[in-house]
C-alpha cells in the first residue's frame, strides 16, 4: 500500500500478486477502487476487476471474522476477529460507493444498506476499542470518564460541561501514541478511526435534500467527532494514515471552502481551517511519498485556499508523469478552476478540453466550461477587436451546440448530474432568447455564465482586488440592456454583484443588491427555462452578510435566514447550495445552542 500511495501502481499490483489472505484481497480491491474513485470513473468502478475484487474481499473477511470469533483466536488487544471486521467494513464502504454511482436505483439502495452495515460495524469496533479515550486496557471506563459521562447527561447545565468534555476527550485522543501499540492494533486503530471518521464527516455534509433520506435509513453525521478521528488516523505510518490525511486536506481545502460561515481558524471545534496543522501533515506526506503527484496537488490546493492562485498554478504546471492518469486529470481540473478565478479564459478552455482526453467523468460539463470561456473572450473583444471576437463567438457557439450531445451519459443514483441539467437548461434558454431576438446564439447568452461558475465553486473567496474588478466588468457587460431583460436575469446579476461586493468588504452595497433579489416574488422565478436558484441562495447570502458584519453575536438571526434556505422547496442545484447551508448551520448552531 505504501507503493500505491507513492504512485507505484505497477509495483503495488506486483507485490500483491499471489497473496490470498483477506488483507491481500482488500489491498487488491483498494488499488482498483482508488484508480477509479480519484477520477470519478464510474465505468472502471463497475467493471469486473473492481467489483469482483471488492466482493471477494468482503466474503473472505467475513469468513475469517466468523472463524476467529468461533475459535476465540486473537491477533490483537481487540476482541477476536476485529481485524477482519475492519477489512469487511472497508470493502463494504468501497462497494457502497460503486453502488451509489450506479445508474440503477436498486443498486443505489443496496449501497445504502451496505453503508448502514459498515457504519454499525465500525461503531462496534470503536466501542470495543481498548485505545479509546478514558478506557483501561481491559476495556473498562475509568472513574474520571464515568463521572464526566454522568455530568454530561444533566440537561439543565450540561452544555458547558459537554464542551469541556469534548475538549478533554480530544486532548486524550491526540495523546494516544501508536508507536507503543503492537502492529495489528495500529492497523485496527488507524483503520477504524479513518473509516468511521470519514463516514461521520461525509454524512455531516449531506445537504438538506438528501439529509431526510439518510435520517430515515438511520445515518447520522458528526463533523467534530469525525475530524478528530481522522486526525488520529493521520498519525499512522500506513495507508490508513495516508487516506485520512487526504480526507482532511480535501475537507479543509475543498469541502468547507464552498461555505462562507465558518468558525475562526484553529477553533476548538476543529472545524475552522487549522493552517499550520494542515501544512505540517502535508509536509510529512510529501517526505513519505515523494514520487506521488497527489501530494503536489494538495500543496497546490493549499496555496489556492490562501489566495495564492498563481503559485497554485505554477505547482500544477510542474512536469509529472503519474501512473494513475486519474491524478493527472485532477491536476488539470484544479488548474482549470484556478485559471477561471484569475479570468484566464483561454487557459480555462484549453484545460477543460484536455480533460475530455484524460477521463470520462462529464464531457458535457467540460464542453460547457470551454464554451462559456469563449463567450467571455468574445465579449472582451467585441469592441476592441471585432475580427477576433467573431472567431471566439464561432468557437463558443460550436461548443454550446455540441454540449447537449454529451448530456445524460453520466448519472448519479440513477439521476442526471445536477450541473449537466443546469447547463442543458441554460443552453436551451439562450437558444430561445437568440431566436426571439433574431441574433446569433452567442448574443443570446445572459448574465456572465463564467461568473455563475465562479460562484458555484466559491472562487470569490480566493480572489484579489484586480480579479474583483474583472468580475464586476464581466457582470456589467451591456448593463444598459439589463433593465429590459427577464426578471430572472436581473436576479442573477444582482445576486452575483452582491457576492463580489461582499468579498470586497462593501457590505452595504452587497445588502442593496441582495434586497433587489429578495423583493422579487419567488413565483416569478419559477417555470419554463427560468433560473430559480437565486431566491433561496439570496437568503443564504443575507445570512453571510450578517455573519461578516457581526459574527457570532448575530448567530440567531443568521440561523433564521439559513433555515429559510434549508426549508426551500426543490430547486435547481439545491444540493450544491445546500452544502453551503448545511455547513453554515453547523457553525451557527454551536453558538445558538450553547
pLDDT at 138: 42
Q: What is the pLDDT of residues 502-533, one digit of tens each?
A: 999 999 999 999 999 999 999 999 999 999 99
When the pLDDT of each residue in the chain is averaged and rounded to a whole number, the result is 85
Q: What is the pLDDT of residues 187-213, one digit of tens each?
A: 999 999 999 998 888 888 777 666 666
Question: Average pLDDT in the 540-547 region?
Answer: 97
At residue 234's C-alpha, the angle toward residues 228 and 238, to 5°, is 145
Q: Considering only CA atoms, which of 372, 355, 511 is closest in space to residue 454?
A: 372
Dist CA 2 CA 289 (whole Å): 8
Q: What is the pLDDT of residues 302-347, one digit of tens each?
A: 999 999 999 999 999 988 887 777 888 999 999 999 999 999 999 9
Neighbours of 172 (CB within 10 A): 14
Neighbours of 593 (CB within 10 A): 9
Dist CA 262 CA 273 (whole Å): 9
pLDDT at 16: 81
Higher pLDDT: 439 or 136? It is 439
Domains of the chain: 2-316 (no CATH), 459-594 (1.25.40)
- HEC profile of 182-240: CHHHHHHHHHHHHHHHHHHHHHHCCCHHHHHHHHHHCCCCCHHHHHHHHHHHHCCCCHH
Q: Give the DSSP letter string of 425-450.
A: HHHHHHHHHHHHHT--HHHH--S-HH
pLDDT at 462: 93
Question: Average pLDDT in the 136-164 region?
Answer: 39
pLDDT at 170: 42
Amino acid at each position: 500500500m505504501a507503493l500505491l500511495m507513492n504512485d507505484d501502481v505497477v509495483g503495488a499490483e506486483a507485490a500483491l500478486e499471489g497473496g490470498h489472505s483477506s488483507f491481500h484481497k482488500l489491498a487488491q480491491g483498494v488499488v482498483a477502487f482508488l484508480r477509479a474513485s480519484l477520477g470519478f470513473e464510474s465505468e472502471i468502478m463497475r467493471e469486473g476487476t473492481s467489483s469482483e475484487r471488492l466482493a471477494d474481499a468482503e466474503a473472505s473477511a467475513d469468513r475469517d471474522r466468523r472463524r476467529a470469533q468461533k475459535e476465540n483466536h486473537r491477533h490483537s488487544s481487540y476482541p477476536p476477529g476485529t481485524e477482519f471486521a475492519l477489512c469487511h467494513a472497508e470493502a463494504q464502504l468501497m462497494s457502497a460507493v460503486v453502488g451509489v454511482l450506479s445508474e440503477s436505483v436498486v443498486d443505489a439502495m443496496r449501497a445504502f444498506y451496505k453503508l448502514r452495515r459498515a457504519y454499525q460495524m465500525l461503531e462496534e469496533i470503536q466501542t470495543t476499542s481498548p485505545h479509546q479515550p478514558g478506557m483501561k486496557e481491559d476495556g473498562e471506563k475509568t472513574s474520571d470518564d464515568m463521572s464526566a459521562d454522568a455530568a454530561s447527561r444533566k440537561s439543565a447545565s450540561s452544555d458547558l460541561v459537554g464542551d469541556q468534555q469534548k475538549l478533554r476527550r480530544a486532548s486524550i485522543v491526540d495523546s494516544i501514541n501508536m508507536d507503543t501499540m503492537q502492529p495489528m492494533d495500529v492497523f485496527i486503530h488507524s483503520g477504524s478511526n479513518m473509516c468511521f471518521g470519514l463516514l461521520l464527516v461525509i454524512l455531516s455534509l449531506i445537504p438538506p435534500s438528501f439529509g431526510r433520506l439518510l435520517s430515515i435509513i438511520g445515518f447520522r453525521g458528526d463533523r467534530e467527532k469525525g475530524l478528530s478521528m481522522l486526525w488520529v488516523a493521520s498519525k499512522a505510518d500506513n495507508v490508513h494514515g495516508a487516506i485520512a490525511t487526504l480526507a482532511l486536506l480535501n475537507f479543509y481545502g475543498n469541502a468547507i471552502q464552498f461555505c462562507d460561515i465558518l468558525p475562526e481558524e484553529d477553533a476548538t471545534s476543529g472545524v475552522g481551517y487549522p493552517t499550520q496543522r494542515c501544512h505540517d501533515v502535508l509536509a510529512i506526506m510529501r517526505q513519505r511519498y515523494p514520487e506521488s503527484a497527489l501530494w503536489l496537488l494538495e500543496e497546490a490546493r493549499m496555496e489556492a485556499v490562501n489566495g495564492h492562485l498563481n503559485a497554485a498554478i505554477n505547482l500544477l504546471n510542474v512536469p509529472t508523469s503519474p501512473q494513475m492518469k486519474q491524478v493527472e486529470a485532477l491536476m488539470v481540473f484544479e488548474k482549470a478552476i484556478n485559471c477561471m478565478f484569475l479570468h484566464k479564459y483561454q487557459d480555462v478552455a484549453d484545460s477543460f478540453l484536455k480533460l475530455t482526453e484524460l477521463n470520462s467523468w462529464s464531457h458535457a460539463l467540460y464542453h460547457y466550461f470551454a464554451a462559456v470561456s469563449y463567450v467571455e473572450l468574445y465579449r472582451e473583444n467585441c469592441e476592441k477587436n471585432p475580427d477576433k471576437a467573431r472567431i471566439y463567438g464561432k468557437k463558443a457557439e460550436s461548443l454550446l451546440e455540441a454540449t447537449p450531445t454529451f448530456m445524460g451519459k453520466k448519472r448519479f443514483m440513477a439521476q442526471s448530474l445536477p450541473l449537466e441539467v443546469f447547463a442543458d437548461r441554460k443552453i436551451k434558454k439562450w437558444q430561445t432568447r437568440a431566436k426571439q431576438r433574431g441574433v446569433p446564439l452567442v448574443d443570446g447568452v445572459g448574465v456572465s455564465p463564467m461568473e455563475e461558475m465562479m460562484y458555484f465553486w466559491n472562487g470569490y473567496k480566493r480572489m484579489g482586488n484586480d480579479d474583483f474588478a474583472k468580475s464586476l466588468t464581466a457582470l456589467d457587460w451591456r448593463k444598459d440592456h439589463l433593465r429590459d431583460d427577464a426578471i430572472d436575469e436581473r436576479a442573477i446579476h444582482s445576486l452575483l454583484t452582491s457576492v463580489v461586493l461582499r468579498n470586497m468588504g462593501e457590505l452595504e452595497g452587497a445588502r442593496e443588491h441582495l434586497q433587489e433579489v429578495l423583493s422579487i416574488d419567488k413565483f416569478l422565478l419559477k417555470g419554463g427555462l427560468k433560473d430559480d436558484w437565486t431566491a433561496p441562495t439570496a437568503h443564504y447570502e443575507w445570512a453571510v452578510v450578517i455573519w461578516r458584519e457581526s459574527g457570532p453575536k448575530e448567530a440567531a438571526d443568521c440561523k433564521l435566514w439559513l433555515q429559510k434556505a434549508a426549508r426551500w422547496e426543490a430547486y435547481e442545484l439545491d444540493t450544491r447550495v445546500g452544502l453551503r447551508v448545511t455547513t453554515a448551520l453547523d457553525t451557527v448552531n454551536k453558538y445558538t445552542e450553547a
